[in-house]
A and B are shown apart, each in its own frame.
Chain A
Amino acid sequence: MSAPLFSFAGVTGGYGATTVVRAVDGEVAAGEACCVLGRNGVGKTTLMRLLTGHLPLQSGAVTFGGRPMDGLAPDERHGLGLIYCPQDRPVFDNLSVRENLTLMASADADRYAPLLAAFPILEDRMAQSAGTLSGGERKILSFVRGAAETGRLLLLDEPSEGVQQENVERMAAFLHEAKAAGRALLIVEQNLAFALEIADRVIVMDHGEVVLAGNAADMTEATLAAHMHV
C-alpha cells in the first residue's frame, strides 16, 4: 500500500505551556474517512487546530502528500489542499452568506450549484449576514464552503452539530461522493450514527490521548460509547 495522503504521529500540543493533546497518531488515505470521537473537552478540537497549523506542535510531526507541514501557516496548508471547517465560529459573521462563499473566488456558480440545490435554505439567505443564521445553518454554510473546495483533504470539526437530521443525511451523501472522488476526510464528531455511517477508521480520544483506534467495521456503537465515557 502506498503512503497515506495525510498522516500525523506523536502529535502533542496545547495552549501556551499547557498540554492538551498527548502523542496522538493517525492517518487517512485518499478516498478514506477517519472519524475522531470523544466527549466534550477531551482535546479533539485542539488536535484539529494542531493539524491545521493554528497551534504550534510541542512535539510530533504532520505530513500531507509526503511533505512535512512544520512551520507552514494555515493559509499555506490551505494552498496545498488542506481544507478545514472549524467547530466554533465556522463562518464570517459580519459577511453575507454570498460573501462567505465568494470570499476567495469569483461567484463560481458551477462549483456551488449541486450543494446549494441540496441545501436550499442557503439560497434563500444569500444576502443575509451570516451572523443572523442559526447555529445549524452556519454549520451548513461552512460545510458547503468546504465541500465545494477542490483540496484533497477535508477536515471537518463537528459538521453535524445543531444541524437537522435530514440535512445531516445530505451531508453524509456528499461526503460519500467526496470519498468516491478520491478525497480524504478527517472528521471530528459526537454524533455516533453519523460518524459510523461515513467512517472507515475511528479514533476515540479521552483526556487528550487516544484510547481506542481501529477500523470502523469492527466497532459497535456500544463499544464506542463505553470508551467515550458518555
Chain B
Amino acid sequence: MASFLGHSAALVAALAVLPQLVGEFWAYTLALYFLYAIASLGIGLCWGQAGFLPLGQAMFFGLAAYLSGLSLIHFKDSWLLLLLLPGAALAPGLLAYGIGLLVFRGRTLSGPFFAMITLALTLLAFQIANSWNDVTGGFNGLKNIPGLPGLSDFTDLYYISAVALAVCLLAIAWLRRAPAGVLWRAVAQNEQRVRFCGFAVQNVKAAVFGLSGVLAGIGGALYAPQQNLVTPQLCGFILSADLVIWAAVGGRATLYGPVVGAVLIGILTADLRDEISYWEVILAAIFIVVVLYFRQGLMGFVEPLFERLSRRRAPRALDSPARPQASGDTGFALDDVRVRMGSVSILEGLDLAIDGPGIYCLIGPNGAGKTSCFNAMTGELPVRSGHIRIFGSTRTGNAADLLSRIGVGRKFQAPSLFPDLTVAENFNIGLWGGRARLRDLLGMRSHGWTSAILREAQARFPFLAEEDRRAGDLSHGQRQILELAMVLIAEPRLILLDEPSAGLSQTETQEVIEAIRWVSGRLNASTVIVEHDMTFVRELADRIFVLHQGRLLASGTVAEIQADNRVRAVYVGASA
C-alpha cells in the first residue's frame, strides 16, 4: 500500500512538471499521444496480461471519438455533456464486453480466431464510418468539433490528457496487483486449470476486453474535443496496428510499456515520417524483431527490477471464507454413457456408480477409456448418449467451472498449473475459486487468505511453503504435488485424480499415497484415481473398477479383482 501511494505521488509529480520542461508545443503533442497511450494500455491488459490479442482496438477509440464529437456538436454548452461524454467513453467498453462474451463463448482457440474477428470488425467499423454520411460526415469526418467548455489553451489540453492517463495508469497498477490481475495472468497461461478452479474463463476474458474497450473509449472521447476533428481513419486498421506495435515495442506485459511505446514511437514517427521515407518499413521490421527476440519490449528490461524491489508478499493471516456446501452427497453415477471421437468409439455404454466417500481406483489397459471417463464427467468430451449424475443431480455436459463450484476437483495426468506464477499465486487461484466474490478479487486482502488444508499440505510437503518460487522451476514430482494440493485446497467432495504418481520417484509416490489417504478422510470425499502402478492401487483402493474397451468389465475389492479371470485375461492376455 505504501509503495502504491509512493508510486502514485511520483507519477503525478512527473506528469505535472513535464510541460515546464518540454515547452508548449511538445506538451500539446504529448497530450495527443497520451490519449493513444491510454488505448494502448488496453492492449497491454488483453495481450500482456490475459493473453489474447485484439487487432482492432481502434474501432473502440473511433466509436468513442464519434460519440463524443457528436455530443459536443449537438449539445454544445449543455449540462447533458456531463452525462454524454462519460457515456461516450463507456459505450465502447460495453460493446467490447458484448463482443467478448460472443466470441469467447465458442470455446475455441482464442488466439487467431479472436484476433481475426477483431481485425474484421475494425475494417467494418471503418466502412460504416466512411459511408454513413448523414451521421459521421463520411470520408471528411466530423469537423469543427467544439472543445471542452472552459478549456482553451494548449496547457489545459495537456493537463486533461495527463490526468486521464494518470488515473488509468493507477487503476491498472492496482488491478495488476489485485487478485484480478493474478487471475488474468493465470488465464493467459492455462485456461483449463482456471476453469477447473471454478472460474468461467470466457467471462473473465470478456471483462478484460470490456475494460480495454473503456480505456480506448476514454482516449477516443477526449480526442474529439482536443483535435476538433474526427475522421474514419480513427476506427481503422492502421491505428489498430499502431496501438499493437506500441504495446509490443514498449513492453506488453509491463505497466508503463504501452505508454512508453506510444509516446516514444508516436513522437519519433511524427518527427521522422517525412525525413526517412522508409520509416514505416523500419518500424514494421522493429516490430518483427521484438516478436522474435525481445518479447518483453523496452520496459521489460527496466520494470521487473523495480517490481522485484517493491514486491512484498502479504502474510497468510486470514482464513478464507468457507465454500458454500449444497449437500453432503459425494456420489456420482454414469448411466450407459457413450462418447465418440470422429469414427472412433471411446466409451461404449459405460455404467459406473459410487455412492459414498472412499477411495476408488479406475484401472484398465491403454485405451480402455479411463481418462475419457473423467473427460466425459467434467464436460471436456461431448457425451452422445447416456446420463451423468453428480451429487444427485443430472450434470451431463456441464462445464468444468460449474462442476468445480459445486465441489468436483480434478488433477490431470501431466501437471496442469501456472508455470510463470509463484507457488503462492498458484495456491491463491485454488483458494479464490468458488470462494472469492468480485470485491475480493478487486481488493488486496484476499492475497492473505489461508486455510486448514493449505497449512496441513505445507506441513506435509515443506517445499510448498517456499511460496515465492516460480511454479515452473519446481521439479516434475513437486509440480505433481503442487497441482494435487491446489485441487485439494478447493475442498472438493468428489476428487478425480489422473495418474497422480506418473513420473514420481518411489519416495514421492509413497508421500502422495499418504497425502491422498489423509485428505480423502479429512474432507470425507469420494476420491477416484486412474492408475497403472499396481502397488499404488493395492495400497489405496477401497474398491477397484476395471474398464475395458469403453465399458465396465468388473468391479470389486483388490482381492476380488485379483481373483477375477476376466480381468486377468484382459491384462495378461497380451503376455500369455
The answer to whether residues A193 and B575 also contact, given A18-B503, A40-B366 and a CB cut-off of 8 A, is: yes
By a CB distance below 8 angstroms, the chain B residues around A146 are none
Contact of A17 (CB < 8 Å), options: B472, B505, B506, B575: B472
Shortest distance between the CB of A13 and any CB in chain B (Å): 12
Contacts of B574 in A (CB 8 A): 160-161, 190-191
- Which residues of B sit under 8 angstroms from A15, Cβ to Cβ? 414
Q: Which of A161, A191, A229 contacts B535 (CB 8 A)?
A: A229
Interface check B502, CB cutoff 8 A: yes
- Inter-subunit contact A18/B575 (CB<8 Å): no
* Closest A residue by C-beta to B344: A131
Would B476 and A229 count as touching, CB distance under 8 A?
no
- Check if A86 is an interface residue, CB within 8 A of chain B: no
Residue in A135, A161, A193, A230 whose CB lies within 8 Å of B576: A193
Question: Chain A residues with Cβ under 8 A from B479's Cβ?
Answer: 18
Residues of A within 8 A of B343 (CB): 131
A182 at the B interface (CB under 8 A):
no
> Of all chain B residues, which has the CB nearest A192?
B575
Q: How far is the CA of A41 from the CA of B533 in the complex (A)?
A: 9
Given the complex of chains A and B, what is the CA–CA distance between A15 and B576 in angstroms?
33
Residue of B nearest to A168 (CB): B574
Residues on the A chain within 8 Å of B415, using CB: 18
Residues of B within 8 A of A207 (CB): 503-506, 509
Partner of A230, one of B414, B509, B534: B534
Question: Does A208 make an interface contact (CB < 8 A)?
Answer: yes
Minimum CB–CB distance from B509 to chain A (whole Å) comes to 8
CA of A135 to CA of B343, assembled, Å? 13
Interface size of B in residues (CB-CB distance below 8 Å): 24
* A179 interface hit (Cβ, 8 Å): no
> Is the CB of A19 closer than 8 A to any CB of chain B?
yes
Bound CA–CA A60/B562 (angstroms): 40
Assembled-state Cα–Cα distance A131/B343 (Å): 9
Query: Closest residue of chain A to B504, judged by CB?
Result: A207
CB distance from B62 to the nearest CB of A (A): 42
Q: Could you tell me the distance between the alpha carbons of A130 and B576 in the complex, rounded to whole angstroms?
A: 28
Tally the A-B contacts, defined by beta carbons under 8 Å: 48
Find the A residue at minimum CB distance from B366: A40
Known: A41-B499, A229-B533. A18 touches B366 (CB 8 A): no
Q: Name, among B503, B506, B509, B532, the residue most crowded by chain A CB atoms within 10 Å (CB to CB).
A: B503
Residues from chain A with Cβ under 8 Å of B509 in the complex: 207
Instruction: Give chain B's interface secondary structure class.
Output: loop
Please tell me if A172 contacts chain B, counting CB pairs below 8 Å.
no
Q: Quick check: is A39 within 8 A (CB to CB) of the other chain?
A: yes
Q: Which residues of B contact A229 (CB under 8 A)?
A: 533-535
How many interface residues does chain A have, given as a range? 20 to 34
Q: CB within 8 Å of A: which of B517-538? A: 532-535
Q: Is A24 an interface residue when CB atoms closer than 8 A count as contact?
A: no
A18 close to B476 (CB less than 8 A): yes
B505 smallest CB distance to A (angstroms): 6
Least distance between B574 CB and chain A CB atoms (Å)? 5
A118 on interface, CB distance cutoff 8 Å? no
Q: Mark B318-357, 1 if CB is under 8 A from A, else 0.
A: 0000000000000000000000000100000000000000
A148 within 8 A of B: no
Closest B residue, CB atoms, query A221: B575
Within 8 A of A (CB), among B281-314: none
Q: Would you give the 0/1 interface string for A154-171, flagging 1 where the beta carbon is closer than 8 Å to chain B?
A: 000000110000000000
* Complex: chain B residue closest to A160, CB-CB: B574
Residues of B within 8 Å of A39, CB to CB, are 532-534
- In the bound assembly, the distance between CA atoms of A97 and B533 in angstroms comes to 37
* A55 adjacent to chain B (CB < 8 Å): no
Cα–Cα distance between A226 and B574 once the two chains are bound (Å) = 17
B455: min CB distance to chain A, Å: 28
| Chain B: minimal CB distance from A181 (Å) | 28
Q: Name the residue on A nearest B574 (C-beta).
A: A191
Q: Contact at A41–B532, with CB atoms within 8 Å? A: yes
B502 touches A41 (CB 8 A): yes
Chain A residues whose CB sits within 8 angstroms of the CB of B506 once the complex forms = 207
From A14, A40, A194, name the one whose CB has the most chain B CB atoms within 10 angstroms: A40
Q: Closest A-chain residue to B531, C-beta based?
A: A41
**Interface status of A116 (Cβ within 8 A of chain B):** no
In the assembled complex, how far is the CB of residue B534 from the closest CB belonging to chain A, in whole angstroms? 6
A20 within 8 A of B: yes
Contacts A/B (CB < 8 Å), 7 sampled: A18-B476, A39-B532, A161-B574, A190-B574, A194-B575, A207-B509, A230-B534
